[in-house]
Amino acid sequence: MPIDEQKINRINIRSEYFQDILDKVPSRIITYGSIGMLVIFIIIIIGMKVVRYPDVITSEAVVTTSTPPVTVHNRVSSRIVSLLKADQDTVSIGEWIMVLYNSASYQEVLQLREILRHVSGSGFWEKIDTVKFEELTALGDMQSGYARFYKSVEELRLFNRLNIQRRQLTINADRARSMNDLDRQLQHKLTILQRQSMLSKSDLDRNMLLDSLRVVAKTEVEQKEIAYLNTQSIVEELNNTRVSNQLQEQALTKENVTLAADYDNTLFNLRKNIFQSYSDLTFQLTEWQNKYVLDAPVSGVLNFYDIRTADQFLSNEQKVFTITPVSGQEYFAIAKLPITNSGKVRVGLKCNIRLNNYPYTEFGMLKGTVTAMSAAAKEGFYSVKVQLPKPLVTTLHKPLDNKSELTGEADIIVEDLTLYDRLFNSIINKNTY
């Protein structure tokens, strides 16, 4: 088949044209390409400056509170007689949660506890006088102690009602006042009689002088002498009466001292018996509560462990319930920091905590601040305290329930660097070696 030379020439011409185009790259393409590469490089640099890539140390962490939840265990193997609270109830410290089987009626024990609370504290003896005893007959091992306490209080009340010594002291006081009045009267009479005696003696002496002069009769002198002797006799009788009265006063004073001592001694013994019986009964009540009552050691929300109903049997040391405090709580985390790189950690660093209970992709993380670090490591770990916000709110603004002992991982931000800083710091550090 003959070859068309004209077609071959045209093909060669076109090939040369395209070859010229391919051999010479247009300057516009080079310009745009360079600008594009520069823009991409600038974007990468800006991105490296913007993207945060902090230096963190990851450790295990436990979120807890300033007052952690308290778990109560059973002390003896027994069955539940009465459930006094329900799950999720808010309880106060000292409130009874449940009563275990025993020989006493817990209702009567509650009455006994109120009686003892009434008389406790300041003004004990004033309260003893006003306390009202109930007829409690089902106190079990505390029955005899309650009877002794009741008996000792009633003996004191009877002693105060009869008040024999005080009444006798009152009578003696009246007698003493009468004796004092009598003594004053005797003294007044004695003063008068002594004056009369002096005058009678002067009259006798004068008549005796006249008798010696034979001026008066002998019988008159004798009458004056008899009058004087009568006056002297009365003075002596008054003196004797006064001495007898004073002796009675002394005996009365001695009797008063004996009565007062007897009163104080009896009152002391009665009060001692009351206080001793009160102390014994309080101790018995405390022992009974420790053995048969599970109460709230702190105030908070009650959470039962597999407790369904009364008459349920509890084994010894069984975990029964937990009380979680709810008011005035401060949350913090305790992180177990490994020894490696621990020198970078210091107070004031920021910390992000991812909780196992709440997936951080859905709930976010907790942000905190390092507030303390242990001085020495224990079993290869330092203890780091991280203060958390109050209330607990995550980075996604989701509040968490009032829970304690939440586990997770803590990322302690040692240095908040960008990707640019991390890259060039690595290059600089390599050049320094």
- For 342, residues 6+ apart whose C-beta sits below 8 A from its C-beta are 57, 377, 382
Q: What is the mean pLDDT of residues 41-46?
A: 76
Q: What is the mean pLDDT of residues 254-267?
A: 86
Residue 107: pLDDT band by 50, 70, 90 thresholds? Answer: very high
Query: Is the alpha carbon torsion for 40, 46, 49, 52 positive or negative?
Result: negative
Does position 18 have pLDDT exceeding 80, yes or no? no
| pLDDT tens column, 292-337 | 999 999 888 899 988 878 888 988 888 999 998 876 678 889 999 9
* Fold equal for 55-67+329-416 and 104-295: no
Could you tell me the end-to-end alpha-carbon distance of the chain, in angstroms, rounded to an integer? 78
The CATH number given to 55-67+329-416 is 2.40.30.170
104-295 fold:
Helix Hairpins (1.10.287)
Cα–Cα distance for residue pair 100/75, rounded to 1 Å: 10
Cα–Cα distance for residue pair 432/315, rounded to 1 Å: 68
Neighbouring CB atoms inside 10 A of 431's CB total 7
Query: Is the alpha carbon torsion for 33, 34, 37, 43 positive or negative?
Result: negative
The ranges assigned to domains in the chain are 5-50, 55-67+329-416, 70-95+302-324, 104-295
The residue with greater pLDDT, 65 or 96, is 96
Does position 108 have pLDDT exceeding 80, yes or no? yes
**Amino acid in position 49:** K
Cα–Cα distance for residue pair 118/123, rounded to 1 Å: 10
| pLDDT tens column, 399-427 | 887 666 789 999 988 876 666 666 666 66
Are the beta carbons of 329 and 66 closer than 8 angstroms?
yes
**Average pLDDT of every residue of the chain:** 82
379 conformational bin, left if phi > 0, alpha if psi -120 to 50, beta if neither: left
| pLDDT tens column, 142-160 | 999 999 999 999 999 998 8
Q: What pLDDT score was predicted for residue 428? A: 58
